[in-house]
Amino acid sequence: MQNIYKEMYLHLFNAVSDALALLEGGGAAQAEALLKRAQCKCEELYIESADGGADGAGV
């Protein structure tokens, strides 16, 4: 389960970094879409890990 948190953190960190770059360039709509996609991806990762996590116990 610990690895899923690391994976989610790295995914969100990269998305936030990319969104900040987009905002600096005036791309607010693209930044918003990027962050929403990252949020959904991390939610999917978490749910998948809870359904059949490494130890099978779930959350």
Strand residue runs (E) in the chain? none
Residue 30 belongs to some domain of the structure: yes
Structure tokens at 13: 């960190």
Q: What is the DSSP letter of 53?
A: -
Boundaries of domain holding 36: 2-51
User: With contact defined as beta carbons under 8 Å apart, do 55 and 1 qualify?
Assistant: yes
Residue 28 has pLDDT above 90, yes or no: yes
Decide which of 49 and 37 is more confident. Answer: 37
Distance CA 52, CA 25 (A): 41
Residue 44 belongs to some domain of the structure: yes
First to last CA, the chain: 9
Structure tokens at 39: 């949020």
Residue 59 belongs to some domain of the structure: no
Structural domain count, the chain: 1
pLDDT value of position 47: 93
pTM, to two decimals: 0.77
